[in-house]
Structures are given as structure tokens and as C-alpha cells.
Amino acid sequence: METKMAGEGQKSKGWFWWVLVTVIAVLVIVAVALTILKDFHSKAAKVHHSPVEQKYADALGIAMQFFDVQKSGQLVNNRISWRGDSGLMDGSGEGLDLSKGMYDAGDSMKFSFPMAFTATMLSWAILEYGDQMDAVKQLRNAQDSLKWITDYLINAHPSPNVLYIQVGDPDLDHECWQRPESMTLQRPLTQVNTSYPGTEVAAETAAAMASASLVFKKINSTYSSLLLMHAQQLFAFADTYRGSYSVTAPSEQRFYNSSGYGDELLWAASWLYLASADRSYLRYATIDHGQEFGNWRRPTWISWNNKLPGVQVLLSRVDFFGASEVPITENLALQMYRETAEMMMCSLLPDSPTATSSRTESGLIWVTEWNSLLHPVGSAFLAILYSDYMLTSGTEALFCSERSYTPGNLRDFAISQVDYVLGENPMKLSYLVGFGENYPQYVHHRGSSIPADATTGCKDGFKWLNSSAPNPNVAVGALVGGPFRNETYSDSRNNSMQGEPSTYNSALLVGVLSGLVTSSSVANSFL
Ligand SMILES: *[C@@H]1O[C@H](CO)[C@@H](O)[C@H](O)[C@H]1NC(C)=O
Ligand SMILES: *[C@@H]1O[C@H](CO)[C@@H](O)[C@H](O)[C@H]1NC(C)=O
Ligand SMILES: *[C@@H]1O[C@H](CO)[C@@H](O)[C@H](O)[C@H]1NC(C)=O
Ligand SMILES: *[C@@H]1O[C@H](CO)[C@@H](O)[C@H](O)[C@H]1NC(C)=O
Ligand SMILES: *[C@@H]1O[C@H](CO)[C@@H](O)[C@H](O)[C@H]1NC(C)=O
Ligand SMILES: *[C@@H]1O[C@H](CO)[C@@H](O)[C@H](O)[C@H]1NC(C)=O
């Protein structure tokens, strides 16, 4: 009885407790769900609605379109109303399909050296910030643009020791002012081979293909392996048959002159190590040739000609995230790269004791009169990468002569350069065409300057260069050359020094904008 009562009592008490527990549980679940939802909304707001980040997302969507503006070949899903098919017969004289790829700048030349650099930088941006690109619906565009270049590079490499590096004759090309769609000129090809080598162009092409093989690994493993195979062959070709392509093809000297190939060899080896996990490439870039080509402890400026700052930051990445897998001797060389990368970061930070004086009065990194935005935008991309490597690895401080800086300081530097480009400058001008209210109207770009329905020959097309009316077509996403050191800009169509955009400028801008879209951490490994 007692037991029964107790049992009943327990039963009825148990019932009460169950109801109470259930009610509490439901309340807790609702509360947690509300918190998560709220958190989700504020995160979503951070990505999509916060004014500052929306600005970078908008700028990224615009910058990405410049790759579509520059495409050669039979266009697919063309987003640029005034562009059409062009260069369809490129390569056909030699039995090759070199119709794809991108025009480098305002003309109709296809130069592989800067085109491959564009692809390498775009790959790097996708590998680090693909998630952020995806969050603002730009990942597919980035992958498509990258593949447009790598498809061309694959076809330009018909046998292990032959690489076609140029389509078109720059002297003839510059005598005409025509849209690529109405080109009538011969399109001669230039190749490098064992008797006329081109180490830097072959190595940069190897870097582009190795980095792209990582991008496409999960998308199409056949394509990814194909890229890796080409990259390995090209690296062997570049390294075995050493010689500068500027010597082989002297006409390049007036356009994309190379000051040496050591940087491209290290750059290609570094990307090949990441893409293949083959230690011999790491050995190449560190103990075998690091001392010889690495220019350790002497920071320089990133450009289509100088990849050393890229090597320093990329191999710092290996040091930040993968050092435990690296043998001690290689590791010592990685330290030298990282030390040099940090010296570079210290020179970029505006109030560091070792800050560079290559800056305009309002703080834009400024190194050269021609295409002045190349260096600030490239440096900003490297700074945001370094900042995120520090953040992700839990590295709190960077020391510049005893003063310490945080990842946030590097991010602020990157933001300062990007904000300048987007209009916070004395001219109140956005140097990114299509962004904001006030951007250049006379960009030095043939397709942009000639109405899509005009019929022009080679010479009479110059009337469109001479015209005083603004460009009829917006070269959306073009990042023009940029301001003078005194922060002035002359918006005039024949001002190619300041007003000519390029695909590599856009790739660097896309990289830094992708890093700024949301606050970031990066993956420890690309694999
Ligand atoms: C090797 O390249 C040079 C320079 O482009 C070219 O003149 C030469 O014809 C090429 N050699 C062969 C065998 O095609
Ligand atoms: C994957 O890449 C290979 C090699 O380029 C190509 O033949 C194939 O069609 C691609 N597959 C898909 C699903 O796109
Ligand atoms: C191209 O670069 C090489 C190596 O730095 C240099 O010797 C040559 O003078 C340069 N050519 C031009 C036209 O600037
Ligand atoms: C464009 O201007 C240049 C320089 O003033 C002149 O030589 C040329 O004839 C002009 N061309 C056309 C097609 O108007
Ligand atoms: C700014 O610099 C450019 C190039 O050095 C020069 O031509 C121009 O006159 C300068 N403008 C002013 C306002 O100082
Ligand atoms: C454009 O500039 C180039 C060199 O800067 C010059 O040779 C050419 O005559 C100029 N053309 C016109 C139309 O002003």
C-alpha cells in the first residue's frame, strides 16, 4: 500500500515534473532558436546589409565584369551588351585554337605573360576567399573567367617544350584603332621553345595552371589533373632551358619587359608544391634556389613583372599552417621568406617605424607613373592575406622595430587603399569604372570608345580615339591606371599612362575586395 501510494504519488508527481520539464525544455528550445535566428539575421545583415561591406560587395560585382569585357573568342553567356565574338581564327594558322583568353588592356593583343599572372592572382583570390565570393554570388563568375584563361593556356602548350606566348603583332596592332570584333589584321603567333626559351613566361604559365588546378580540383578532377600535368611540364621546360623571353621576343620589351626569371621560378615551384604536395618543389623554392633568387630581407613591389612579394606571402602561408610537415632545413628558408614578408608589411603600415615613403599625401601607395594603382592594389591584396593568416593562426602581433601591430592594422591598411580607389580621394573620383557617381568617362580602351554598331577600318577608327565625346560603352569593372603622385588624374582618352585599364589590375582588385566582403578567416589548406 505504502509502496503503491508512494508509487502513485511518485507517478502523479512524476507526471507533474514531466510537464514542467517539457515546458521548460520547449521554452529553452524556443529561446535558443530565437537567439540563433537573431544571430543568423545579424550575421546575414553583416554580409548583405551593413553599409560598409555592401560597398565592397558592390565593387566586387563590378570589378569582376571587366574579365567579360576582355574576353576573346566565341562568347558564352555574355553579360556585356556591347561585346561580341572576336579572335575566332586566332591560332588556326598553326592548327591551334587560341581563340579564348583575354586581351591584356585597351588593345587587342593577347600577351601570355600578364594573362597568366592575371590567372594566378584570380586563382589565389578564389582559393582564399571563394566562400566570400559565393556569399555575394560572384564565385561562378570568378571560376568562369579563370577557366576562360586556362582553356587558352592549355591550347597554347601543344607539346612539352613549346609554348605560344603571344597572339598578334603589337606594332601592327597599335597602328589601328578598332574593336576586337572587327579586327582585320593578321594575327601572327610567337612561341618559346628549346632554342628560344622564355623561362619567366613558361614559369608564370606553370604557376597559373598549378594554382588553377587547385581551384578546379573539386569541380572537375579531370580538368584539374590536366592543368597540373601542363604545369609540371612547363616548369621543367622553364627551368631546364633558361633564358628570358624578353631576349627571345624583343618586341615584348616595350610592353611587358621582364627584369628576370628567378621570381617566376620560385613562384611556380611554390604553387606546384601546394598543388601536388610534391616536396621536391618546396625544396626547389627553399634550400635549392631560395638564396639564389629569393632576394631575402629586401622587400620589393608586387607586379606582373615581380612575383617575389607573392612568393614571400604564399610561403609564409606554408609557415603559418603547414610548418610541422616541413623538414627543418626547408623550414629555415621559410623563415627567411616570412621575415621578408613581414618587412614588406611593416613598410606598408603607414605609422610603422619602417613605413615606406612611396605614398601620396593622402596615403595611397604610389610607386610608378604608369599604371600607378597596380602597386597599392597589389599591396592591399597581400596585406589582407597576411592579416587573415595571422587571424586564422591566432598570431596576435607583427613586430616592426619593436612596435607591435595587429591583423586589424593590416586590414585597415588594405581598406585605406581600396577606399581611395573607390572615391575617397582628393579628386572624389572612383577609379573603378561603373562604381559610384563619378568615374572616368574617357577610358583608353578601343571597344569601349567605339559604338558597337560602327563600321571601322584600321585607320579611320582613330576618329573614335580623337572624339571629344565620352566613351559610348562603359568598360564596366575597368580599374584605370590611376592618379599621379600629386593625386591628379586627367580623364582623356589618349592618356594611356593614367587611363588604360588591365586584366591584372582587376585580378588584384578582385582579390582584395573578396577579402573585404566579410570579415574573414582562411582555410588552413587549399586541398
Ligand atoms: C622557336 O621559337 C622561335 C622564336 O619564337 C621561332 O623563331 C622558331 O621558329 C621556333 N622554332 C621552331 C622549331 O619552331
Ligand atoms: C571535365 O574536364 C574535362 C577535361 O577538360 C572535360 O573533357 C569534361 O567535359 C569536363 N567535365 C565536365 C562535367 O565539365
Ligand atoms: C628590359 O629588361 C632588361 C633586363 O632588366 C633590360 O636590360 C632592358 O634594357 C629592358 N628593356 C627595355 C626596353 O626597357
Ligand atoms: C586623329 O588625330 C590625329 C592627331 O591629331 C590625326 O593625325 C589623325 O588624322 C586623326 N584621325 C582621325 C581618323 O580623325
Ligand atoms: C601633377 O603631376 C603631373 C605629373 O607629374 C603634372 O603634369 C601636373 O602638372 C601636376 N599637377 C599639379 C596641379 O601640380
Ligand atoms: C596619343 O598619344 C601618343 C603617344 O602618347 C601620340 O603619339 C599620339 O599622337 C596621340 N594621338 C592623338 C590622337 O592625340
The residue whose CA is least distant from atom 14 of ligand 6 is 494
Task: For ligand 1, say whether the CB of 159 is within 6 Å of any of its atoms.
Answer: no
Task: For ligand 3, say whether the CB of 257 is within 6 Å of any of its atoms.
Answer: yes
The residue whose CA is least distant from atom 3 of ligand 4 is 466
What distance, in Å, lies between the first and last C-alpha atoms of the chain?
Answer: 70
Query: How many A from CA of 254 to the centre of ligand 3?
Result: 9
Structural domain contains residue 33? no
Task: For ligand 4, say whether the CB of 296 is within 6 Å of any of its atoms.
Answer: no
pLDDT of residue 422: 98
pLDDT of 459 above 50: yes
pLDDT of residue 45: 37
Single-letter residue type at 5: M
262-276 and 221-240 helices, crossing angle to 10°: 150
Least confident of 32-36, 48-52, 515-519: 48-52
Structural domain contains residue 399? yes
Residue 479, strand partner residues: 432
Region of 192 on the Ramachandran plot (φ > 0 left; ψ -120 to 50 alpha; else beta):
beta
The domain containing residue 259 runs over which residues?
Answer: 55-516
Which one of 111, 112, 167, 191 would you pick to mutate in the ligand 1 pocket, going by the greatest count of ligand atoms within 8 A of its CB?
191
Structural domain contains residue 1? no
The atom number, within ligand 1, closest to the CA of 195 reads 1
Query: How many A from CA of 193 to the centre of ligand 3?
Result: 21
527: confidence class by pLDDT, cuts 50, 70, 90: confident
pLDDT of 489 above 60: yes
pLDDT of residue 6: 35
pLDDT of residue 51: 35
Task: For ligand 4, say whether the CB of 494 is within 6 Å of any of its atoms.
Answer: no
| Dihedral sign (CA 173, 174, 180, 182) | negative
pLDDT of residue 252: 79
Q: Which three cell numbers stand for residue 50?
A: 551593413
Per-residue pLDDT of 77-107, as tens digits, reads 999 999 999 999 999 999 999 999 999 999 9
Least confident of 29-43, 123-137, 142-156, 272-286: 29-43
Query: How many A from CA of 137 to the centre of ligand 3?
Result: 42
Task: For ligand 3, say whether the CB of 251 is within 6 Å of any of its atoms.
Answer: no
CATH number assigned to the domain comprising residue 474? 1.50.10.10
Query: How many A from CA of 488 to the centre of ligand 5?
Result: 7
Structural domain contains residue 79? yes
pLDDT of residue 21: 55
Per-residue pLDDT of 215-248, as tens digits, reads 999 999 999 999 999 999 999 999 999 999 999 8
Element (H, E) at 133: helix 112-135
pLDDT of 299 above 90: yes
Structural domain contains residue 43? no
| Inter-residue contact 422 to 432 (CB < 8 Å) | yes
Q: Which ligand is nearest to the CA of 464?
A: 4
Task: For ligand 5, say whether the CB of 495 is within 6 Å of any of its atoms.
Answer: no
Query: How many A from CA of 476 to the centre of ligand 4?
Result: 27
| Dihedral sign (CA 54, 56, 62, 65) | negative
Total number of domains in the chain: 1
Alpha carbon distances (Å) from 212 to 142, 226, 228, 268, 278: 11, 10, 8, 12, 17
pLDDT of residue 456: 87
Per-residue pLDDT of 4-48, as tens digits, reads 333 333 444 455 555 555 655 655 555 555 444 444 444 333 333
Task: For ligand 4, say whether the CB of 460 is within 6 Å of any of its atoms.
Answer: yes
Place of cell 610541422: 324
φ and ψ of 165, to 5 deg: -120, -5
Element (H, E) at 146: helix 139-155
Q: Which three cell numbers stand for residue 470?
A: 565620352
The residue whose CA is least distant from atom 12 of ligand 2 is 220
Q: Give catalytic residues, as residue numbers.
A: 444
Task: For ligand 6, say whether the CB of 494 is within 6 Å of any of its atoms.
Answer: yes
The residue whose CA is least distant from atom 5 of ligand 3 is 259
Structural domain contains residue 12? no
Task: For ligand 5, say whether the CB of 484 is within 6 Å of any of its atoms.
Answer: yes
Structural domain contains residue 368? yes
Per-residue pLDDT of 373-403, as tens digits, reads 999 999 999 999 999 999 999 999 999 999 9
| Inter-residue contact 241 to 234 (CB < 8 Å) | no
Query: How many A from CA of 487 to the centre of ligand 5?
Result: 8
Query: How many A from CA of 170 to the centre of ligand 1?
Result: 18
Structural domain contains residue 218? yes
Task: For ligand 6, say whether the CB of 497 is within 6 Å of any of its atoms.
Answer: no
Find the mean pLDDT for residues 160-183: 95
Q: Which three cell numbers stand for residue 27?
A: 521554452
Q: Which three cell numbers stand for residue 444?
A: 583608353
Single-letter residue type at 254: R
249: confidence class by pLDDT, cuts 50, 70, 90: confident
pLDDT of residue 26: 55
pLDDT of residue 145: 98
Task: Determine the Cα–Cα distance for residues 153 and 340; give it in Å rounded to an integer.
Answer: 32
pLDDT of residue 225: 98
Find the mean pLDDT for residues 332-350: 98
Considering only residues 162 and 185, tell me which one the structure prediction assigns the higher pLDDT.
162
The atom number, within ligand 4, closest to the CA of 465 reads 1
| Inter-residue contact 191 to 163 (CB < 8 Å) | yes
